[in-house]
Amino acid sequence: MATDAPPPSKAGSPLPSTEEFVEVQEGAEFGELRRSYRSFAFPLTIAFIAWYLLYVLLSNYAGDFMGTKLFGNINVALVLGLGQFLTTFLIAWWYSRHAAAKLDPKAEAIKSRMEGDV
């Protein structure tokens, strides 16, 4: 027996239809959510990839520079390598803060409206 109504969600209310999803996706609020995400994620991704490639290229082609001792047995390569880990964790922390402050409230508002909680 086929019906046009979407199946009920776990809470018992019907899920939004495909048309409702498309309408929300084309709306200004969802567009702002996407812009907010992209304006944060894309530049940071490009910067991190450039930083990583710089490290790899220096490791391959600037061995003397990378082998320069800074103090004791600590050289430039080790410091830059550890810097890769540090920047990875900093970016994850920064994204977490950005998402909690800017993305999650917008996404939750859209979700609540779609699920009929508002």
**What does the alpha-carbon distance between residue 54 and residue 66 come to, in Å, rounded to a whole number?**
12
The residues with which 8 forms a beta bridge, in sequence order, are 14
Residue for token pair 């950005």: 98
Q: Look at residue 52 in the predicted model and tell me its pLDDT.
A: 96
Instruction: Tell me the two tokens of residue 104.
Output: 């999650």
Question: ∠ at Cα 35 (39, 26), nearest 5°?
Answer: 165
Q: Look at residue 118 in the predicted model and tell me its pLDDT.
A: 46
pLDDT confidence band for 114 (50 / 70 / 90): confident
Q: Look at residue 9 in the predicted model and tell me its pLDDT.
A: 53
Per-residue pLDDT tens over the stretch 44-102: 999 999 999 999 999 999 999 999 999 999 999 999 999 999 999 999 999 999 999 99
